[in-house]
A and B are shown apart, each in its own frame.
Chain A
């Protein structure tokens, strides 16, 4: 029973950690499937985290914060689009520029506005997304196994975790079952053909990047107003790059990408749990080794099990009409 509880609690932590990764990876999927490399996921998330925390602190409402986060991320995303779709700039450089600008700008603005060393004031009450207890969770708790899973694992998360869970099937549906999705994929594979069919390539890419901005905004908001309680310098801590890795890991497909995110999050949850615990035979494992575990696992899986990943064919290339 105890082992069972530990596993459920580990999975519970996995869901919390995976949420921003899933949202950011799906965001990256729209952009990359449309043929635009988006290394700026990190910066967009950070910008959204800052805007959401600032607005939530001032307005006292997490929902207003969410809107601000999405808006900021959308603006950064359209900047990226303007630089590398309209003006055919280098996509990696533009993305990196966004990361660097936000990493510097957010703490600077935070410092100027709140005088708290680049942080925003701690959020509480309605200015954060709190856990939602699903109906019957407490009543179900005593039902063996299923009740416990329902009460601990399914219930009690904040709204954004459920949004991320819903985002996966919705993204899959949009990409594979709608006209918009078909065009996004086509623009990333063969923009010339799309152009011949009378669809504006640049407009499609703008639209895809808008979706990217929207999802990144939610991911960033989650960091500062739901999982955390306030903005702190560099709080994304590489999650944007991790999401990008998960995207490649998942071969640019929604469900495998989600599993890749869950795997990263699970190793993270396990390493928190393994620290200082003496295991049979090997004894206590050093902190350094445990913390390297997620990365070792990533390399092993990428090298051995995933096989060849096929990126969208037109990725990274600005579309220039031949004359």
Chain B
């Protein structure tokens, strides 16, 4: 099941093997998942983090783009064999591959993004998506004139329910009378890459009165944003900053700083400060957030930004509690 889940999320796997090695033979590696490193979303964020590391240190990194499910295990294994110091694996789909490779190469360091693999040489980075979704939920409720907002998820899995629940709580926080219309695109991995269906779901939500839609659906989201632009209603992006896709109708994007996580994994492995275990990145760690930029400055009002910043501080201080779907 986990494997299936993973296929869908534009996942990237990066393995970092490093640690004890000297800086000159420090060989970081990253394995991107299906979707590829230029997917405008999750994988691309990982690519940006790796590029940043390269720019900063001048160290080249090895990378591989998984294009078929069967390549995942091979790719991770090959990176470890080639003597990578740290292998970063992007996306929860890579969990099985990382587990197998980590057991076979106990001296190699592995970092997996979006999934927990419990082994002594694996670092698992997970994000508090519900906190970021809460904030964009506030913006959605404030931007909505009808009091109805929408959510479109990709494949119906707990990770996406986590986005949905946080978003819903954020909407209710800003406007307790608001109504949230929720749709999942499908129950198979193809739900991550069905923009036509995404567009239809968005159209159906607009017809039902929603005027802001948050899509956490990978490639399916592209159809949602397109329909929002065609109908001149608002949409909210996810993972990477997607505001530039349709300036004027993209309200904001829920950012997941995968780039920071990848860069940190490489840097800490090089410095020798890399630690195995679970690393949770939330608002406090700047792991999630929202985008304010030249593309959405005309639609995201200062009041919305102020309300989101206020909620951000209150979540960090513990005054607002956002429910984590996984903990229910």
User: B107 on the interface (CB 8 Å rule)?
Assistant: no
B199 proximity list for chain A (CB < 8 A):
227-228
Chain B residues near A234: list those with CB within 8 A. 190, 193
Contacts A117-B38, A288-B156; is A13 near B226 (CB within 8 Å)? no
The reply to whether B38 and A115 contact each other, CB–CB distance below 8 Å, is yes
Nearest neighbor of B186 in chain A, beta-carbon distance: A291
Task: Report if A117-B204 is in contact (Cβ < 8 Å); known contacts: A272-B183, A275-B184.
Answer: no
Q: Is the CB of A122 within 8 A of B245?
A: yes
A139 → chain B closest CB, angstroms: 21
Q: Is A269 within 8 A of B204, CB to CB?
A: yes
A235 close to B190 (CB less than 8 A): no
Q: Which residues of chain A (100-118) have a CB below 8 Å from chain B?
A: 111, 115-118
Determine if A122 and B222 form an interchain contact, defined as CB atoms under 8 angstroms apart: yes
Pick the most buried of A16, A234, A291: most chain B CB atoms within 10 A of its CB. A291
| Cα of A269 to Cα of B200 in the assembled complex, Å | 8
Chain B residues with Cβ below 8 Å from A16 are: 200, 203
Among A119, A130, A229, A237, point to the contact of B194 (Cβ < 8 A): A237
Q: Which residues in B have their C-beta under 8 angstroms from that of A273?
A: 204, 208
What are the interface flags for B201-228 relative to A under an 8 Å C-beta threshold, 1 for contact and 0 otherwise?
A: 1011001100000000001001100100
Cβ-defined contact, B223 with A228, below 8 A: yes
Q: Which of A124, A223, A237 contacts B190 (CB 8 A)?
A: A237
Complex contacts, A233 vs chain B, CB 8 Å: 193, 219
Q: How far is the CA of A23 from the CA of B182 in the complex (A)?
A: 32
Question: A288 CA to B184 CA in the complex, in Å?
Answer: 10
| Whole-angstrom CA separation of A118 from B40 in the bound complex | 12
Q: Chain A contact residues (Cβ within 8 angstroms of B): what range?
A: 20 to 34
Interface residues of A in 202-234 (CB under 8 A from B): 223, 227-230, 232-234
A contact residues around B204 at 8 Å (CB):
9, 13, 269, 272-273
Q: CB within 8 Å of B: which of A228-264?
A: 228-230, 232-235, 237
A276 to B153, CA, bound (A): 13
**Is A133 in the interface zone, CB < 8 Å from B?**
no
Most buried by B among A9, A13, A111, A118: A118
CB of A17 closer than 8 Å to a CB of B: yes
Instruction: Contact check, B183 vs A232: say whether CB atoms are below 8 A apart.
Output: no
Q: Nearest residue in B to A276 (C-beta to C-beta)?
A: B182
Q: Does A296 contact B (CB under 8 A)?
A: no
* A4-21 near B? 1/0 per residue, CB < 8 Å: 000001000100110000
CB pair A232 B182 closer than 8 Å = no
Nearest-neighbor residue (CB-CB) of A233 within chain B: B193
Closest chain-B Cβ to A258's Cβ sits at a distance in Å of 20
A301 within 8 A of B: no
B183 interface neighbour in A118, A275, A288, Cβ under 8 Å: A275
A contact residues around B195 at 8 Å (CB) = 228-230, 232, 235
A117→B37 contact, CB < 8 A:
yes
Contact B38 A287 (CB under 8 A): no
Of A16, A117, A272, most buried by chain B (CB within 10 Å of CB) is A117
Q: In the complex the two chains form, is B183's CB within 8 Å of A227's CB? A: no
B118-131: contact bitstring with A at CB < 8 Å (1 yes, 0 no)? 00000000000000
User: B220-256: which residues lie under 8 A (CB-CB) from chain A?
Assistant: 222-223, 226, 229-230, 245
A residues in contact with B230, CB < 8 Å: 130
**Chain A nearest CB, measured from B180 CB (Å):** 9
Report chain A residues within 8 Å CB of B197: 237, 272
Tell me if A117 and B35 are in contact (CB < 8 A). Answer: yes
Cα of A227 to Cα of B197 in the assembled complex, Å: 10
Contact with A along B37-62 (1 / 0, CB 8 A): 11110010000000000000000000
What are the interface flags for B178-189 relative to A under an 8 Å C-beta threshold, 1 for contact and 0 otherwise?
000111101100
In the bound complex, CA of A111 to CA of B208 (Å): 38
* A278 CB, nearest partner CB in chain B, Å: 12
17 further interface pairs, Cβ-Cβ under 8 Å (given A118-B36, A269-B204): A111-B36, A116-B39, A117-B40, A117-B43, A122-B222, A124-B229, A130-B230, A227-B196, A228-B195, A232-B195, A233-B193, A272-B197, A272-B201, A275-B182, A276-B183, A287-B156, A291-B186
Residues of A in contact with B (beta carbons under 8 Å apart): 9, 13, 16-17, 111, 115-119, 122, 124, 130, 223, 227-230, 232-235, 237, 268-269, 272-273, 275-276, 287-288, 291
Q: Can you name 7 A-B pairs with beta carbons within 8 Å?
A: A9-B204, A118-B36, A230-B195, A232-B195, A232-B219, A269-B204, A288-B156
